[in-house]
A and B are shown apart, each in its own frame.
Chain A
């Protein structure tokens, strides 16, 4: 449905009557948003959780659809199958506000709940019941997150969910919609502000000559290239084949967060020049950076972050930068000047924001003086616009006013378990840390709660291997191996092991592979094949 943003708002969650949470371990990844889900359930809403693991939310869920990792499309298509077979779709909405339903209808007719059961492991009756409940409840909302997007078939997964939403007309009013829960704090804003090869700020297409003309004019007549830029995966592969010779790396650690991380780190050897800007040194920058700029934490700067409900919130400096460290905004401006650019004075964050808002129609009405108390949700086109709590009202926000349904076929995960690597490894986040944990691992009070690397394994698999709780074990994939402690748990089913992303000494991304979704390049963190061995320590 066009923009990768939550259609609805956080406060609306508590008034949903039906919540379908798919691939989101919300209580750990978005803990405070999960409080609204808990509240909705307390107020009588029905919660259905689709997740390979028995995550916390399953405790208060009416039903847990424990699907096999990577089988999401099967599950959703089977729900669609039930909806069409039983006539539960919203015909009026489909006729007035969508296009492409026929193809989808035809494809999902082959996805029967019984066949789905064989692929997903979810009982056909549960699929039927969930489809019926979802289709018949007006205030039904879907929530998904990286669980669904970190697959090689990420785009398919999102399409299949969006088909479901459109076919049942769950769009364009309160407490409904398709809600992508954004992982990191400002991922929404990162994309909104144009840090993306395909888009200029405000999702204005980088290949549109009109857009280039507008930005060129606003930026003092500079010439703007039409050559398409590289996505993350292309930048990293470019390190090997020599397409990319220099990098400016700001607050990132691809040596840790990228799949097949060892391979990525080796790529840095080939770089001719690396400039890094961060709070801390890490193994990569320590080894390869030619210049390191000491940067600022959120507590030291002014600006805005945009949250998962598209709300632009103010960030305000509370403490000074340590030593000679500088706020990132000043560093980028100084660097641009050093590179020879003739940039305007940017005396403060607001002046930068205004330039962005002037150039981006859906942000045009967002100005600092309006952000003091509660922030504003984009789209917000002018000063009189109160912002947008839910999108696609009164009709889907596409040029022809129709939401597009797109037929999606199931693609099996790229790496399936086999005799040598018999277990499926799925990865994710835990509550206590944040990605590569360069920040949170420095919090003594928090590491008390969780420190050694661990992985979750079922009772059955653990006893077959002779592993006891807390034993060290070695996880081996085709790409690497690591050691971690076994946490024996009914959260995973036999055949599945799960590990968090955060541990510096045991990076699970040493094991995962880097084949990404062909369209958006999201790497498949979620499914790889591994074997587990007892470790000697």
Chain B
């Protein structure tokens, strides 16, 4: 532990902690834009500048580690600087809400009461089109914070995105201008998830969602696709009761907010028109026909009981599923053993 002074108060923090996190634990929230806990300290956007006694100029709190005896002030001139910086970014921020994702820049502007003083004449950048149907990139929203590219290099290690050009020309592109589908991109959406402005955003199959992510109802649950068990948030449109997108939060232990293509994008099967919506029973014509639940259940029970009477319980098998919950699998084996009277319950996915 080290002790240091934060806006006049003595505070302590574990050695080596980043100042921005130490300050937050003591209730002082220093705004950040290019910083992301998942990524190496970077210090690119200058939003988190603080005054450090003895330093020739303000330092970024997101890249500064706490040191014994340091004296930090977060509310001096750097406060005014933050406002100016925000205004400059807003002056180039043409599309504040491309995909309905939360926008850290406009949130910050609201908090600081900052507004775009004007729009830079050369702010408009060439639009970026891609034939992939999952993720879009809107250069008009991009503040060039480099979080996405750093995520691709440090976390995903996919080398699918690069930062290209300088100044007004600068933008983020998939390597050598290829479609994301033709790069090493695996469509995990990790770069999207760290983007603070929504410049990289989900594209929606079957039309855009009703409004903003914040209008959606989040339900935290567990991904259904593999044994990692990533924690996800289903973002549901309260009107249509359909899943609009899947997000995750860095605080979730097993996956720290990271997802893969399946967890993030493969939810449309839930609302697919092929879903079965009524019980079916096989008719005398040999075809399946819709039936009521009562009818289906009593036919199923009569069929099973018939086999049991004719051939004994051992002639009945049950196949459970790794897609079912623990509770459902428990009930299934209880049904096998306690109701039908057989131990023959297994699964195709036993490994």
A residues whose Cβ falls under 8 Å from a Cβ of B: 10-11, 27, 29-33, 35, 38-39, 42, 60, 146, 149-150, 154, 181-198, 200-201, 206, 215, 219, 222-225, 227-232, 234-235, 238, 243-254, 257-258, 272-273, 275, 278-281, 286, 289-295, 297-309, 311-320, 322-326, 328-329, 332-336, 338-341, 346, 349, 352-353, 355-356, 374-375, 431-432, 434-435, 438-440, 442-446, 448-449, 520, 522
Q: Are B347's CB and A280's CB within 8 A?
A: no
Query: How far, in Å, is A273 (CB) from chain B's closest CB?
Result: 4
Residues of B within 8 A of A191 (CB): 350
3 smallest beta-carbon distances between A and B, as pairs: A323-B277, A229-B343, A307-B229
CA–CA, A213 and B277, complex, Å: 40
CA–CA, A504 and B155, complex, Å: 34
Query: How far, in Å, is A239 (CB) from chain B's closest CB?
Result: 9
CA–CA, A281 and B337, complex, Å: 27
Q: Are B304's CB and A339's CB within 8 A?
A: yes
Pick the residue among A190, A320, A346 that contacts B350 (CB under 8 A).
A190
Q: In terms of DSSP, what is the predominant structure of the interface of chain B?
A: mixed
Given A198-B343, A231-B346, A431-B186: 20 more A-B contacts, CB < 8 Å: A146-B351, A182-B227, A183-B227, A184-B322, A185-B222, A190-B324, A193-B330, A195-B329, A229-B345, A252-B348, A254-B319, A279-B276, A281-B280, A291-B281, A292-B296, A293-B279, A314-B221, A326-B293, A444-B205, A448-B131
Q: With A314-B220, A322-B275 known to touch, is A35 a contact of B258 (CB < 8 Å)? A: yes
Q: Does B10 lie at the interface of the complex (its beta carbon under 8 Å from any beta carbon of A)?
A: no
Pick the residue among A325, A338, A346 that contacts B277 (CB under 8 A).
A325
Tell me the chain B residues, 285-338 only, with Cβ under 8 Å from chain A: 288, 293, 296-301, 303-308, 310-311, 313-338
Q: Does B243 lie at the interface of the complex (its beta carbon under 8 Å from any beta carbon of A)?
A: yes
Q: Are B276's CB and A278's CB within 8 A?
A: yes
Residues of A within 8 A of B236 (CB): 318-319
Query: How far, in Å, is B247 (CB) from chain A's closest CB?
Result: 12
Q: With A200-B333, A273-B307, A339-B304 known to touch, is A32 a contact of B260 (CB < 8 Å)? A: yes
Q: With A303-B328, A333-B331 known to touch, is A185 a contact of B255 (CB < 8 Å)? A: no
Residues of A within 8 A of B300 (CB): 275, 290-291, 293, 335, 338
Query: How far, in Å, is A278 (CB) from chain B's closest CB?
Result: 7
Q: Are B186's CB and A194's CB within 8 A?
A: no
Tell me the chain B residues, 254-291 only, with Cβ under 8 Å from chain A: 254-255, 258-263, 265-272, 274-282, 288
CA–CA, A219 and B267, complex, Å: 37
Q: Are B319's CB and A338's CB within 8 A?
A: no
Q: Are A185's CB and B276's CB within 8 A?
A: no
Residues of B within 8 A of A305 (CB): 222, 224, 229, 325-326
Q: With A191-B350, A338-B297, A435-B349 known to touch, is A33 a contact of B341 (CB < 8 Å)? A: no
Q: Does B134 lie at the interface of the complex (its beta carbon under 8 Å from any beta carbon of A)?
A: yes
Q: Does B55 lie at the interface of the complex (its beta carbon under 8 Å from any beta carbon of A)?
A: no
Q: With A227-B343, A229-B343, A316-B220 known to touch, is A29 a contact of B271 (CB < 8 Å)? A: no
CA–CA, A120 and B340, complex, Å: 48
Most buried by B among A182, A195, A290: A195
Q: Does B176 lie at the interface of the complex (its beta carbon under 8 Å from any beta carbon of A)?
A: no
Pick the residue among B222, B278, B307, B335 that contacts A332 (CB under 8 A).
B335
CA–CA, A445 and B186, complex, Å: 12
Q: Are B319's CB and A11's CB within 8 A?
A: no
CA–CA, A197 and B219, complex, Å: 35
Q: Are A315's CB and B276's CB within 8 A?
A: no
Q: Does B13 lie at the interface of the complex (its beta carbon under 8 Å from any beta carbon of A)?
A: no
Q: Are A183's CB and B318's CB within 8 A?
A: no
Q: Are B325's CB and A258's CB within 8 A?
A: no
Q: Are A440's CB and B331's CB within 8 A?
A: no
Q: Does B29 lie at the interface of the complex (its beta carbon under 8 Å from any beta carbon of A)?
A: no
Residues of B within 8 A of A281 (CB): 274, 276, 280, 288
Q: With A303-B327, A318-B221 known to touch, is A323 a contact of B301 (CB < 8 Å)? A: no
Q: Are A31's CB and B186's CB within 8 A?
A: yes
* Interchain residue pairs with CB less than 8 A apart (10): A149-B351, A189-B329, A191-B350, A225-B342, A273-B303, A295-B276, A313-B254, A332-B335, A335-B301, A339-B335
How extensive is the interface on chain B, given as a class?
35 or more
Pick the residue among A323, A341, A355, A445 that contacts B278 (CB under 8 A).
A323
Query: How far, in Å, is A194 (CB) from chain B's closest CB?
Result: 4
Q: Are B226's CB and A352's CB within 8 A?
A: no
CA–CA, A444 and B320, complex, Å: 28
Q: Are A250's CB and B324's CB within 8 A?
A: yes
Q: Are B304's CB and A195's CB within 8 A?
A: no
B residues whose Cβ falls under 8 Å from a Cβ of A: 131-134, 154-157, 181, 186-188, 203, 205, 217, 219-231, 234, 236, 241-243, 253-255, 258-263, 265-272, 274-282, 288, 293, 296-301, 303-308, 310-311, 313-351
CA–CA, A374 and B231, complex, Å: 9
Residue of A whose beta carbon sits closest to that of B317: A235
Most buried by B among A190, A231, A257, A289: A190
Q: Are A184's CB and B315's CB within 8 A?
A: no
Residues of A within 8 A of B345 (CB): 194-197, 229
CA–CA, A332 and B301, complex, Å: 11
Query: How far, in Å, is B218 (CB) from chain A's closest CB?
Result: 8
CA–CA, A247 and B261, complex, Å: 34
Residues of B within 8 A of A215 (CB): 337-338
Q: Are B222's CB and A318's CB within 8 A?
A: no
Residues of B within 8 A of A32 (CB): 228, 230, 254-255, 258-260, 263
Residues of A within 8 A of B228 (CB): 10, 30-33, 307-308
Q: With A250-B320, A353-B326 known to touch, is A187 a contact of B227 (CB < 8 Å)? A: yes
Q: Are B334's CB and A219's CB within 8 A?
A: yes
CA–CA, A515 and B259, complex, Å: 36
Q: Are B265's CB and A315's CB within 8 A?
A: no
Residues of A within 8 A of B346 (CB): 195-197, 229-232, 235
Pick the residue among B133, B223, B331, B339 that contacts A185 (CB under 8 A).
B223
Q: Are A228's CB and B274's CB within 8 A?
A: no
Q: Are A251's CB and B296's CB within 8 A?
A: no
Residues of B within 8 A of A254 (CB): 319, 348
Q: With A299-B270, A303-B326 known to touch, is A291 a contact of B318 (CB < 8 Å)? A: no
Residues of A within 8 A of B234 (CB): 299, 318-319
Residues of A within 8 A of B296 (CB): 291-293
Residue of A whose beta carbon sits closest to that of B331: A332
CA–CA, A338 and B279, complex, Å: 15
Q: With A183-B226, A250-B332 known to touch, is A279 a contact of B275 (CB < 8 Å)? A: yes
Pick the residue among B132, B323, B329 that contacts A193 (CB under 8 A).
B329
Q: Are A247's CB and B316's CB within 8 A?
A: yes
Pick the residue among B155, B242, B263, B307 that contacts A39 (CB under 8 A).
B155
Residue of A whose beta carbon sits closest to that of B288: A292
Q: With A293-B279, A335-B297 known to touch, is A328 a contact of B351 (CB < 8 Å)? A: no
Q: Are B223's CB and A449's CB within 8 A?
A: no
Residues of B within 8 A of A257 (CB): 348-349
Q: With A257-B349, A316-B219, A320-B241 known to touch, is A329 a contact of B333 (CB < 8 Å)? A: no
Q: With A185-B225, A187-B227, A332-B328 known to touch, is A440 a contact of B320 (CB < 8 Å)? A: no
Q: Are A183's CB and B349's CB within 8 A?
A: yes
Q: Are B326's CB and A189's CB within 8 A?
A: yes
Residues of A within 8 A of B269 (CB): 279, 297, 438-440, 442-443
Q: Are A313's CB and B229's CB within 8 A?
A: yes
Q: Are A292's CB and B154's CB within 8 A?
A: no
Q: Are A332's CB and B332's CB within 8 A?
A: yes
Residues of A within 8 A of B279 (CB): 291-294, 324
CA–CA, A194 and B327, complex, Å: 10
Residues of A within 8 A of B329 (CB): 186, 189-190, 193-195
